[in-house]
Amino acid sequence: MTTFSAVVTTGIYCRPGCGAKPLAENVRTFELAATAEAAGFRACLRCRPYRVAGPVAADAPELVCRAVQLIIEGALDRGTEAALGARLAVSPRHLRRLFHDHLGVTPDQLARSRRAHFARRLLDDTDLTVAGIAFASGFGSLRQFNRDMRMVFRAAPGELRDRRRRADRLAADGGLSMRLPYSPPLNWEAMLAVLAERAVPGVESVRDGVYRRTISLDGEAGLLEVRAGEGDHLVLCAHLPFWEGLIHVVDRAGRIFGVDADLARAEADLAGDPVVGPLVAARPGVRPPGAWGSFEIAVDAVLAQYSARPRVRRQQAGLVTALGRPVPGLDHGLTHLFPSAETVAGADLVDAGVSAAAARAVRALAVAVAEDEFILGGGSALREFVGALCAIPGVAEGTAHSIALRLGYGDAFPAADRDVRATLPANEILDPGEDVAAAWRPWRALAATHLIAAAVA
């Protein structure tokens, strides 16, 4: 976990490694930049703490983590704390109390800090106009944007743009490039191998060290490219039809690679395990892969329940070609958008090349998602989430855990995954079931990811 140091005599907070050397008695520490800001401190101009990843503490209660995820997805861009509390079935007062006790900020303060930090990164990395940055960062108006930037950084957006350094701006051959900060290490090669093994033909591509995929924004097609950067960030190049709400595109892109994850405690806890420990030592920095689209990875998991990976890839290609919207003019094998749940629910999947048993399960999943998007919304506890998926005809518990892992549930364990099973026998474990994985709680998703990474290496 990143710890920010705030100096009471200057009113400034810094990231770890900053060259400032204040007296120890004048220093306060905070786990979140937003907490330091709520206490009245402003970001250091030298070390620029808004450019580092700021994951929420892993030991925060599940309800707080769910609330934070909803905030990241934009619940407070236009909504209120009361509406957020209602979605979580708690009062706004209780929600604020939980946030104060565990994070040191209110939900509104956290949302405001996130928007301001993202805007500051856009001011550094891009040449977007100030007005464009305001709406790309999730602010409802220029007035709100200017007010919050002055509150967080003690300067107007124009002044902050004037302070950017020559090396800050990221040049791009078309599109818009920006940094995706993370807390090192991040094992880029191993994560690309895992994503390549599960890439959807025509929708995703992993070539020459670059991850690419097509996306849909309000019905319009876009393209994302992610590559390794220098030091503590990845570089995202986005080709989009518009920039409004860019903060949520960037958050979703970062989620694919787990840039907000803090692995220190999890890797330390797993290091001594006789099975997973050697895998962690061999590939430090591997993170559970996320997903751009929850329905997309759910379809992949269901197909993998019935078929081996080569056949799954052929079935995915058939689905995408038959039901996906074509996106002409792209390279690297990208040809389509992934079809929506509504489209899949009304289609004959056998004609698209899917086996009869898998087609029934995928169609049942599509109908459930089309009727109730919350099923794949990631807003419930793991047990409830798995239970809701297992209630869909044809979806097994192991498949539900595979989906949960990609949607960020840290204790998900897909015991039936073929790559997990392929690695476990090499460690003289015959039954990759619940009892085997119990020793890896609450980091079973990371343990499973290391087993998968070892299988695809």
Long-range CB pairs of 306-313, under 8 A, 24+ apart, other chains included: 306/355, 306/357, 306/358, 306/361, 307/355, 307/358, 308/418, 309/197, 309/198, 309/418, 313/201
Q: Determine whether 417 is an active site residue.
A: yes
Nearest in space to 131 (alpha carbons), one of 140, 16, 83: 140
Q: Determine whether 273 is an active site residue.
A: no
**Degrees, nearest 5: CA angle 275-454-412:** 70
Residue 355 · residue 303 · CB < 8 Å: no
Which run of H or of E encompasses 266? Answer: helix 264-270
Q: Quickly tell me which residue has 């997903």 as its tokens.
A: 291
β pairing state of 204-207 and 233-239? unpaired
Per the DSSP assignment, residues forming a β-bridge with 223 are 214, 239
**What is the C-alpha separation between 324 and 301, in angstroms, rounded?**
18
C-beta atoms surrounding 79 within 10 Å: 15
Could you tell me if residue 35 is left (phi over 0), alpha (psi between -120 and 50 degrees) or otherwise beta? Answer: alpha
Q: State the amino acid at position 287 in one-letter form.
A: R
Handedness of CA 413, 415, 419, 425 (dihedral sign): positive
Q: Quickly tell me which residue has 């001594």 as its tokens.
A: 272
Helix (H, G, I), strand (E, B) or coil at 313: helix
Selecting among 124, 260, 417, 419, the annotated active-site residue is 417
Residue 212 · residue 223 · CB < 8 Å: yes
DSSP for 213-240, please give it. EEEEETTEEEEEEEEE-SSSEEEEEEE-
* Catalytic annotation, residues: 14, 417
